[in-house]
Structure 1
Amino acid sequence: MYPYNLQAGDIVTVKRTSPFRPTYYHYGVYIGNGEVIHFSGAEFNIKAKETAKVHRVTFKEFVGDDDDNPEVKRIPCPSDVSREEVVRLAKSAEGGFFRNIPYDLFTNNCEHFARWCHGEAESKQVQKVVKRAIVGGAVALGVGLLIREVVKEIKEEKKQRHYYY
């Protein structure tokens, strides 16, 4: 076992914060011996899409040393997937793009890679953002329609008052 009770085949996440971008979680697959395979650009630069590759780093490099108390979470290997298979999948993707597709924040990111190793390439972070955008858009549309109706009623009321004078 490694810190955080990590075992080979587990997904490991680390919270990334910066005053210049939204907070997010970076994902990788713990393969044992203090190593993590993840999909990232050079030096974890989220903007370095063209250099993003699946590569192996030490757990310490993955977590980063800019924070004395990093927020690290473990997602255990599912019981219906063998740990050896998860590690094999992670290693098979090393050195190139994930799924031979360049990094894309919404469709092909580090979370897609890590969860693919567990059986399903998805990003719950992206899903959450999209849901919030849809709900926010629906609320804005509803408020806009409500305001339009209120304004229409006020105009109609003024027009009717004008006829009485």
Structure 2
Amino acid sequence: MLDALGYLLDKVLLFLVTCAPADVAPPLERTYRRGDLLEVPRTLFKHFGIYLGDGRVAHLIPDILPAVTSDARHLRCKVSNTRLLLGVLSKRASVRVDSVEDFAYGASVRLNAHDMESAGGGCRDAEEAARRAERLLGSVPYSLLWNNCEHFVTWCRYGDARSLQTEQFCQWLKSLIRDQRNVALAALLGLLSLACSGVSSGTALPALVVPLTLWMAS
């Protein structure tokens, strides 16, 4: 049973991190310059890195292994899906250097002009961006929303650790919470749970608190 569950999680994670538009061709590697910001489209998000030259990319990736071992040979190995998933759950990551191919993980690579730049964000010298990335190599805390790969590259490149993907998600969540139709839906689901499970502290409290919280936040 556990083997089957592990296999299923591995396949789901592989789909999430490798699926990308089939018609996007990766640029030739000779078009990359040291300090360039590279982007890899995934199914639900984008992954970012800083090009260091000689086919190497510095990027922040969830990884459990630095928290349990200091063996450089193991740490240099390509991060597997299991290591990545456990890194997300344990909120551990590493800033590491991989080849362009390993960074892409089967998807296509784009040379990125970040939205922060088009919005007037001050782009630092490319060499300084690469040096910043190199100084941060090693184990770091991880948060899917507050300290991810985009925070890493925007700090290196623009001196401001931001994730536009996080900001867009928070805006979507804000609009979802403020939609009063969701208050009515939460109240209806609460009444249905009371009708099906009976009135108890375990059912009545969520049935009251969730709609009330949504109503006060809307």
* TM-score for the superposition, normalised by structure 1: 0.69
Deviations 1:8-64 (A, max 9, x none): 1111111223xxxxx111111111111100111232625413441111000000001
Q: Secondary structure at the match of 2:45?
A: strand
Question: What residue ranges of structure 1 are gaps of 5+ in the alignment?
Answer: 18-22, 146-165
The corresponding residue for 2:62 is 41
Pick one of 121, 128, 135 that aligns with 2:168: 128
Structure with the higher fraction of residues in strand conformation: 1
What is the one-letter code of the residue matched to 2:57?
Answer: V
What is the one-letter code of the residue matched to 1:29?
Answer: I
Give aligned pairs, total: 132
Taking only the aligned residue pairs, the percentage that are identical comes to 27
Q: Which has the larger radius of gyration?
A: 1
Higher relative contact order (CA 8 A, sep 6+): 1
The corresponding residue for 1:13 is 39
The corresponding residue for 1:27 is 48
- Tell me how large the CA RMSD over aligned residues is: 2.6
CA distance in 1, matches of 2:32, 2:51: 7
The corresponding residue for 1:52 is 93
1:109 equivalent to 2:109? Answer no
Contact kept in structure 1, 2:29 and 2:55, CA below 8 Å: no
The corresponding residue for 1:92 is 135
Question: What residue ranges of structure 2 are gaps of 5+ in the alignment?
Answer: 1-26, 64-78, 185-218
Contact kept in structure 2, 1:9 and 1:76, CA below 8 Å: no
* TM-score for the superposition, normalised by structure 2: 0.54
Identify if the C-alpha distance between structure 1 residues 59 and 143 changes in structure 2 by more than 3 Å, giving closer, same or farther.
closer
> After the TM superposition, which parts of structure 1 deviate over 3 Å for at least 4 consecutive aligned residues?
76-80, 142-145
Contact kept in structure 1, 2:176 and 2:182, CA below 8 Å: no
Contact kept in structure 2, 1:40 and 1:46, CA below 8 Å: no
CA distance in 2, matches of 1:138, 1:54: 37
